[in-house]
Homo-oligomer: A and B are copies of this chain.
Amino acid sequence: MSTITRHEPSAIYSLVVEANGFVFTAGIVASRLDADVKGQTEQILAEIDRLLVLCGTDRSRIVTANLYLADIRTREAVNEAWKPWTGGKDLPARTAIEAKLADPRMLVEIGVVAAK
């Protein structure tokens, strides 16, 4: 069997899991939910940075990203945080859909898969 490494488990799920050369983050939401969509996205992307580095990889090695927006019309505000974060290079495949999230104050949730 291959080795699986799990990081920062809560009672319900792990924040990030490593297996077979890939890193899977949980769907990450902002911790300060009074922020607007762009601000929440910035918080999420900073947390994703932290989780990827914890696993020995980084944002330049994300292969796919799933974005869930409480209101799909805020897509441009999400991209205002996304674009400078990616710097327009090493861009992952991406899916962005509207979905109601666990708390009505959560405006965006992002999960990624990265290669090690």
Minimum CB–CB distance from A12 to chain B (whole Å) comes to 6
Cβ < 8 Å to B, chain A residues 9-43: 9-17, 19-22, 24-27
Contacts A11-B83, A116-B2 given; does A17 touch B99 at CB 8 Å: no
How far apart sit A21 and B27, CA to CA, in the bound complex (Å)? 23
User: Could you write out 28 A-B pairs with CB less than 8 Å apart?
Assistant: A1-B116, A2-B115, A6-B90, A6-B92, A9-B88, A9-B91, A11-B83, A12-B82, A12-B83, A12-B91, A13-B92, A14-B93, A19-B22, A20-B20, A20-B22, A24-B64, A26-B64, A27-B95, A27-B96, A27-B97, A64-B111, A66-B95, A68-B95, A72-B102, A75-B102, A97-B101, A98-B99, A99-B99
Counting every copy of the chain, the complex holds 3
Which residues of A are in contact with B by a Cβ distance under 8 Å? 1-2, 4, 6, 9-17, 19-22, 24-27, 57, 61, 63-66, 68, 72, 75, 79, 82-83, 86, 88, 90-102, 109, 111, 113, 115-116
